Amino acid sequence: MAEGALFAAAHGIIEKLAGQIVRELDCRWAFKDEITNLEKSLFAVKAALQDAEAKQHNSEAIKPWLTRPKDAMCDVDDLLDQIFNVDLRRQLMTCDKICIDLNRINLESIWGSAGKSCSSFMRPRSVDFGQMEVGMKNRMVTLDLEIGMIGWRNVKVLKNRNSEVGRLQKLLTRIEDLPISLLLEILYRLDLKSAMRCKSVARQWCYLISDPSFANDFVRLHASSVVDRPFALLLHYVDKQIKKRHLLATSEEPEFKSLTYIPPIYQHDNIEVTVQASCNDLLLCCANMVGNDAGSGPMSVYYVINPISRQWTALPPMPELARARVGFICWYDTALHKQLSYRVMRIPEFKGESAEFSVEIFSSDTGKWTQSVGLCPQGFQLDVFAFPGVPYNGLLFWWSSTDCLVGFDPNTSKCCQFFEKPVELNPSHGIERLGVCHGTLRICQISGYPYEVADPCLRVWELKDYDEGGKWNLEHELYFDKMVSEKSPWLTEYLSKKYPTVAVLAYHPNDREVVYLMIKFKVVFCNLRRKTLEVVCDIPTADYFYHGCNVFTFVLPCWPTPIPFQTEKAT
């Protein structure tokens, strides 16, 4: 094979070089120990390449390194100008070709059984194998076979017996000292913000950090540290005066500043973008053309976006449906090498109770929308408010107006879980909010005046025994006039009056005692056990958030979930 021949040629030259250098070194600097080590290193390289056959890694990251050897070669050439004869220099220049062609060769070893003879002490491990010493022992070309990169690093000259060496050291100052795998070990130990920022340090760093495998290893290292992930509530509303949709995040932390990002392709005046659903750290948004699209009728383009990494992918366009219920669920598919898999389920609005209804499902595995039939033998009725489905345990849950909880399988749109309402639930008016808190499903209800002659009360139920038929447990029962706000006494006063207007926005993702309320144009943090309230932020309008509509929970992960490359982006 031509490539094999090239590699053999490369090896031949390097061995020759080594021989030549060795002789020269010997007479100038008496590096006897280093000479034997050089030989050993070459054997080590061969062994490493044999191992590498199994570890092929196609990476974009290899490309920037192709330019590096050229630069380094120029330096080495300068050095050799001073010291070696012309013949050798000409030979060394051909190393330029060797490095570039390594990319095509795919690291296939062609050096045969010679590798077996190397001492196992010099057996290469994940880093530091393939140390071919080219030039004056001041450059080590490191073949990092775990991630398929060619790196260069400085090595200090150990025995400085000649003034020439001092000059050499001055020329070799540009390249970093660390092999790539060790650099990665350091980067994995940074926090999210610093690691993201390090993308701007150098090109190589940008490629390394953007590579999907970086995310996997980063998360693995951080998963062991048990810490409550920060989160924010995302509120979506329309500013009636300027007729523009707004996204507001409840947290001021820098990491959440990106939440309101809209891809440039959708940032036009005649495109209306709405957030439809959220799952983990991904958002499902919908872009609608405002005004009439000639011929085909108004179309909606749904897209999945990770606002922190600003990665996004668009789904194929679908006809626009007003008030359709949308559910979005995603998970890591371990079979597909930890790639993200997601489903979007869209239920066109239908009136009344029904056991069968039409459903549209998008699967990221097929990249297509399919028409399906939603089945719920016990009867399912859409809630008045267009809630997104709540993703939980691989199913999408909706609260049916028949006062029960229904979970649909996003692959088959069949109802797989069905739970009757809690005993204490007041049947005359629906629930406030369906959500997940600390790994369990929750619903809540505000009862009392004006619905009935009773003191206003907030009740929160949690679904226990999920696998054994399910049982609702009344976790909290809090009367409004018992709630106290230390920092905002006006709140306490307001709630003790006769008809306070309170809506439940969301549950805390982890803290089982916390709930977020909307009271008088403010987002309020409520601790149900301590019965305390605290204002979080202002909201300009209350209309959109009743029953928790248009409120999305966003939990900051260890590392932003990478979105796999999907179909072409549609306009």
Rounded distance between C-alpha atoms, residue 29 and residue 481, angstroms: 89
Reduced to 3 states (helix: H, G, I; strand: E, B; else coil), residue 569 is: coil
Q: Which residues contact 481 (CB under 8 A, 6 or more apart)?
A: 455, 456, 495, 496
User: Is 411 among the residues that bind another protein (CB under 8 A)?
Assistant: no
Work out how close the CB of 189 gets to another protein at its nearest, in angstroms, rounded to a whole number. Answer: 4
Reduced to 3 states (helix: H, G, I; strand: E, B; else coil), residue 204 is: helix
User: Is 224 among the residues that bind another protein (CB under 8 A)?
Assistant: no
User: Is 452 among the residues that bind another protein (CB under 8 A)?
Assistant: no
Angle CA 112–118–121, to nearest 5: 140
User: Is 39 among the residues that bind another protein (CB under 8 A)?
Assistant: no
Q: For 105, phi and psi rounded to 5 degrees?
A: -70, -25
Q: Which residues contact 392 (CB under 8 A, 6 or more apart)?
A: 407, 436, 441
Q: Which of residues 85-114 bind another protein (CB under 8 A)?
A: none
Query: Of 31-39, 225-233, 439-447, 499-507, which part binds another protein (CB under 8 A)?
Result: 31-39
Q: Which of residues 163-182 bind another protein (CB under 8 A)?
A: 173-174, 176-179, 182
**Which strands, in side-by-side order, build the sheet including 131-134?**
131-134, 139-144, 149-154
Rounded distance between C-alpha atoms, residue 442 and residue 506, angstroms: 10
Query: Of 54-62, 249-257, 272-280, 425-433, which part binds another protein (CB under 8 A)?
Result: 249-257
Work out how close the CB of 282 gets to another protein at its nearest, in angstroms, rounded to a whole number. Answer: 17
Choose between 264 and 450: whose C-beta lies nearer to another protein: 264
Query: Of 46-54, 199-207, 419-427, 511-519, which part binds another protein (CB under 8 A)?
Result: 199-207
Pair of tokens at residue 255: 């990491």
Query: Of 201-209, 386-394, 404-412, 473-481, which part binds another protein (CB under 8 A)?
Result: 201-209
Q: Which of residues 499-538 bind another protein (CB under 8 A)?
A: none
Choose between 233 and 518: whose C-beta lies nearer to another protein: 233
Pair of tokens at residue 276: 């439809």
Pair of tokens at residue 226: 């048990």
Burial category of 307 from C-beta neighbours within 10 Å (exposed 0-12, middle 13-18, buried 19 and up): buried
Pair of tokens at residue 347: 């239920």
Q: Which of residues 113-172 bind another protein (CB under 8 A)?
A: 119-121, 123, 125, 127-128, 156, 158
Among 6, 198, 318, 549, binds another protein (CB under 8 A): 198
User: Is 26 among the residues that bind another protein (CB under 8 A)?
Assistant: no
CB-CB contact of 135 with 102 (8 Å): no
Work out how close the CB of 48 gets to another protein at its nearest, in angstroms, rounded to a whole number. Answer: 15
Q: Which helix (H) or strand (E) holds 131?
A: strand 131-134
Q: Which of residues 56-85 bind another protein (CB under 8 A)?
A: 64
Rounded distance between C-alpha atoms, residue 337 and residue 360, angstroms: 27
Kindly state the number of chain residues that form the binding site for another protein, as judged by CB under 8 A. 45
Q: Which residues contact 262 (CB under 8 A, 6 or more apart)?
A: 273, 285
User: Is 569 among the residues that bind another protein (CB under 8 A)?
Assistant: no
Q: Which of residues 302-321 bind another protein (CB under 8 A)?
A: 310
Query: Of 188-196, 338-346, 387-395, 449-457, which part binds another protein (CB under 8 A)?
Result: 188-196
User: Is 292 among the residues that bind another protein (CB under 8 A)?
Assistant: no
CB-CB contact of 532 with 280 (8 Å): no
| CA-based nearest residue to 464, from 440, 432, 431 | 440
Among 78, 191, 349, 452, binds another protein (CB under 8 A): 191
Pair of tokens at residue 125: 């491990």
Among 171, 186, 290, 355, binds another protein (CB under 8 A): 186
Residues that bind another protein (CB under 8 A): 33-34, 37, 64, 119-121, 123, 125, 127-128, 156, 158, 173-174, 176-179, 182, 185-191, 193-194, 196-204, 206, 254-258, 310
